[in-house]
Amino acid sequence: MSGRRDSNSRPPAPKAGALTGLRYAPQHITIVISAAKIRKKTPTTKLCVYNGGRGTFICNIIFVKLFGQVPQERYFAPMKFSTLLGIALGMFAIFGAYILEGGEFETLFLMPAMMIVFGGTFAAALAGTSVGHILRIPKLLSIAFFPRRYDTLLIINQIIFLSTVSRRDGILGLEKRLDEVHHPFLRKLIESAIDGASPEILLQTAENDMDFMTERHNSNIGLFTKMGGYSPTMGIIGTVMGLISTLASAGSDPNILIRHIAVAFIATMWGILMANIVWLPIGDKLRLLHNEEISLMRVMFTGVHSLLLGETPSVIRAKLLSTMPLSVQASLMRSASAPNPPQPPAAMSESV
């Protein structure tokens, strides 16, 4: 395609049904664009597949050159199932070892012992908090098992791109790009900047959001931490009750004595198991997710704050990439400063 394209114009959409692809080696980058979805102005399910930190910059550079905007994915990194996998492996190891020793699986599920541990744990948690907090446990479990993680590198790329738009069109020029900002905190900061907020007001807004979010998250984390403390205690209570029943039944049928002893030990087992395999690890996972979210929010604030101060995209890039390891920073900076980034093939330019 010849001639210079107007920076504000968007290239015409290709014919419906046509697919255009671009592959760039050795980073194994693939861009797949669905013409039908572009015509509807909705993103494709997969725009960029890359291997290595350098790939993201090149992928976005090509997409911006073609469409004048960053890829419109929701900037989600692949979900990680480490918590669910860890709990499953822990249960498998413990119960598997028990079965290998000749134990019978169903003997571990005695209703009296489990009622003491699970019922007592939830009752103690309810006594120390509210009903609404207890009802949020399923949602918190879903967050811990299937966390929605934003891709920090893609968000950094978007902030750098928005800083370029701001220097070219002014801070008000970002208003046309708000639909491309999917993270609510980043969108809020950009809207505040567009509305004329000073850097001090922007800092106060960001700090308030992070402080209040920390309070909410600590409350949720504390719930699971407390349950991790209640559970072994309930197991001990079950053990004591089982021993009392055993002593009270002294001289009676030996089968009754054996059952009472079983209840005593199984209650202790479930109390310790649930605390160390479920409740405490979930609390730790929620704390990890909170720390990652706070770190990402600081990155977004730093970017928008620098954008509001009028700093150049290269300075903003250097600031934001400081969150990455030094080896990754060097690779990404080289990619971003490359004088001739990979260009799309002629056939691709013509079809787009």
Residue 12 is predicted with a pLDDT of 46
In a domain, 310, yes or no: yes
Kindly state the tokens that stand for 96: 């598997």
Residue 23 is predicted with a pLDDT of 32
In a domain, 90, yes or no: yes
In a domain, 182, yes or no: yes
Beta bridge partners of 23: 30
In a domain, 51, yes or no: no
User: Is the separation of the CB atoms in 155 and 190 below 8 Å?
Assistant: no
In a domain, 106, yes or no: yes
Query: Judging by beta carbons within 10 Å of its beta carbon (0-12, 13-18, 19+), is residue 201 exposed, middle or buried?
Result: middle
Write the CB contacts of 81 (distance below 8 Å, at least 6 apart in sequence).
145, 146
Residue 209 is predicted with a pLDDT of 96
Q: Look up the domain containing 323 and give its range.
A: 74-334
In a domain, 236, yes or no: yes
CB atoms within 10 A of CB 282: 25
Residue 64 is predicted with a pLDDT of 45
Looking at the structure of the chain, the number of domains it has is 1
Concatenated DSSP letters of 170-225:
-GGGGGGGGGG--SHHHHHHHHHHHTT--HHHHHHHHHHHHHHHHHHHHHHHHHHH
Whole-model pTM: value is: 0.72
Residue 148 is predicted with a pLDDT of 81
In a domain, 57, yes or no: no
In a domain, 242, yes or no: yes
CA distance 3 to 278: 62
Mean pLDDT by 10 residues, the chain (352 residues): 44 38 32 35 36 40 44 46 92 94 88 94 95 95 88 90 92 91 93 94 96 96 97 95 84 77 90 96 96 95 94 91 80 63 35 30
